[in-house]
């Protein structure tokens, strides 16, 4: 499997990070992924930002970046590690000196994404491709659409699948790697044999 | 002012959209901005996705896209408009046919961002530049750091500002357009004359 964390730092770099504000609304902004170490990711922000308060309150982020029509998303738990790795981040990302000159870095603190789950998703190919990955000690969760044993093999799901990613068999099987999660199969199944989980 | 909605559709196109899930956690993914009409923005998704459920539940999104180191963010209210503009969206975005062939578009529905507030933010220039804009009938909210009349003109804020965007005067004044919202000025002000709002 590819090292998606490295791609987030080296190829995408400017990612969108979502948090939730005090009113329960999502907030999105571009934050650069500054470092990758042992599969963990590092970014920084300034103490004066609402972003900082939201990070401290929920200790959780949802990230997504895009490159060449493929996206890498990642959600997981974060922790504030203060000034750790700050010098290394500035060395590897020299453009930061333009924004925060040497003697004016006091507001900055570093955050570590230490565990989470992610997905690579490419809709520029036919069929589309998705692939999951994890960071840290988390177990990958099942997600996607599943066809249960009550399937009677009528083939209605195959007729509506935009990705042609359902295989005949007993029961029929959805190839999760190519599934776009549109739900069309579940809608037409006369047996209600198709279940959605965590999509 | 630039038409930032048009830039989101024509130049950035693949934007990150954040919603909140049933557990109150942020969820981010890449969604293409398909159309712009009279300043309103349109995107689509499939009914089978968790994204669809989250859109219907909160009717609010936070979007951000990046191009050439500048970002455009936007948060606001959305509504489901069903199949309206779906044909036009497929005409203007022919790659969609690869993902959803003509006879397999049933799961798709269109959403309209009909009002909201946004910000252009460029950290690749010195000083950084930010500029707000609105969609629909919303009034722009004040945000940023403000120096109140209790300022004694000691100059401590100027010494720590990484963007050199504080002007002398009575009181001193922060040039919001160039402020990076780090909060360093507020931290050092002996008069507690600096206030943060909606940053």
Is residue A153 domain-shared with residue A75, that is, in the same domain? no
CB-CB neighbors (< 8 A) of B101 in chain A? 162
Is residue B153 domain-shared with residue B74, that is, in the same domain? no
What's B192's domain CATH number? 3.30.70.20
> From the CA of B68, how many Å to the nearest CA of chain A?
10
A3 touches chain B (CB under 8 A): no
Is residue B119 domain-shared with residue B28, that is, in the same domain? yes
A123 touches chain B (CB under 8 A): yes
B63 touches chain A (CB under 8 A): yes
Query: To the nearest whole number, what is the mean pLDDT of chain B?
Result: 95
CB-CB neighbors (< 8 A) of B93 in chain A? none
Is residue B127 domain-shared with residue B81, that is, in the same domain? yes
Per-residue pLDDT reduced to its tens digit, B63-113: 999 988 899 999 999 999 999 999 999 999 999 999 999 899 999 999 999
Is residue B88 domain-shared with residue B68, that is, in the same domain? yes
**pLDDT in the model for residue A72:** 98
Residue B167 has pLDDT above 90, yes or no: yes
Straight-line distance from the first to the last Cα atom of chain B, in angstroms, rounded to the nearest whole number = 22
Q: For chain B, give the percent of residues with pLDDT over 90.
A: 91
Residue B199 has pLDDT above 80, yes or no: no
Is residue A69 domain-shared with residue A87, that is, in the same domain? yes
Is residue B42 domain-shared with residue B110, that is, in the same domain? yes
**pLDDT in the model for residue A197:** 85
Is residue B19 domain-shared with residue B59, that is, in the same domain? yes
Provide the residue range defining the domain that includes B29: 4-135
Interchain proximity A107–B61, CB inside 8 Å = no
Give the end of a domain, one of A135, A160, A188: A135
Give the end of a domain, one of B135, B152, B176: B135
Torsion of Cα atoms, B139 then A51 then A71 then A100, to 10°: 110
Is residue A125 domain-shared with residue A150, that is, in the same domain? no
Is residue A123 domain-shared with residue A182, that is, in the same domain? no
What's B120's domain CATH number? 2.30.110.10
Query: Across the interface, which of A18, A64, A180 has its CB nearest the CB of B62?
Result: A18
Other C-beta atoms lying within 10 Å of the C-beta of residue B76: 21
Q: In total, how many domains does chain A have? A: 2
Interchain proximity A107–B183, CB inside 8 Å = yes
Handedness of CA A17, A19, A21, A25 (dihedral sign): positive
ipTM value greater than 0.90: yes
In chain A, which residues have pLDDT < 50? Answer: none
Among the listed residues B25, B15, B21, B111, the one whose alpha carbon sits nearest the alpha carbon of residue B63: B15
Among the listed residues A17, A86, A22, A88, the one whose alpha carbon sits nearest the alpha carbon of residue A53: A22
Is residue B95 domain-shared with residue B158, that is, in the same domain? no
Residue B198 has pLDDT above 80, yes or no: no
> From the CA of B170, how many Å to the nearest CA of chain A?
24
Interchain proximity A184–B60, CB inside 8 Å = no
Per-residue pLDDT reduced to its tens digit, B103-155: 999 999 999 999 999 999 999 999 999 999 999 989 888 889 999 999 999 99
**pLDDT in the model for residue A187:** 96
B68 touches chain A (CB under 8 A): no
Q: What whole-number distance in Å separates Cα of residue A73 and Cα of residue A63?
A: 5
Is residue A127 domain-shared with residue A54, that is, in the same domain? yes
A28 touches chain B (CB under 8 A): yes
**pLDDT in the model for residue B114:** 97
Straight-line distance from the first to the last Cα atom of chain A, in angstroms, rounded to the nearest whole number = 22
């Amino acid at each position: 499997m590819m090292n998606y964390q490295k791609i987030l730092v080296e190829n995408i770099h400017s990612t969108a990070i979502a948090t939730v504000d005090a009113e329960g609304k999502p907030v999105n902004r571009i934050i650069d992924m500054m470092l990758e170490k042992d599969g963990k990711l590092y970014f920084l922000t300034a103490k004066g930002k609402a972003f900082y308060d939201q990070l401290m309150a929920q200790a959780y982020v949802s990230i997504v970046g895009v490159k060449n029509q493929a996206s890498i998303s990642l959600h997981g738990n974060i922790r504030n590690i203060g000034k750790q790795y700050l010098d290394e981040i500035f060395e590897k990302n020299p453009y930061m000196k333009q924004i925060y000159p040497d003697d004016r870095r006091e507001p900055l603190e570093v955050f570590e994404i230490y565990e989470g789950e992610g997905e690579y998703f490419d809709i520029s190919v036919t069929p589309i491709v998705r692939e999951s990955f994890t960071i840290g000690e988390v177990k990958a969760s099942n997600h996607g659409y599943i066809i249960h044993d009550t399937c009677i093999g009528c083939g209605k799901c195959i007729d509506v699948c935009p990705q042609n990613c359902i295989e005949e068999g007993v029961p029929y099987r959805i190839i999760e790697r190519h599934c776009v999660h549109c739900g069309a199969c579940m809608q037409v199944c006369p047996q209600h044999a198709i279940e959605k989980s965590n999509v």
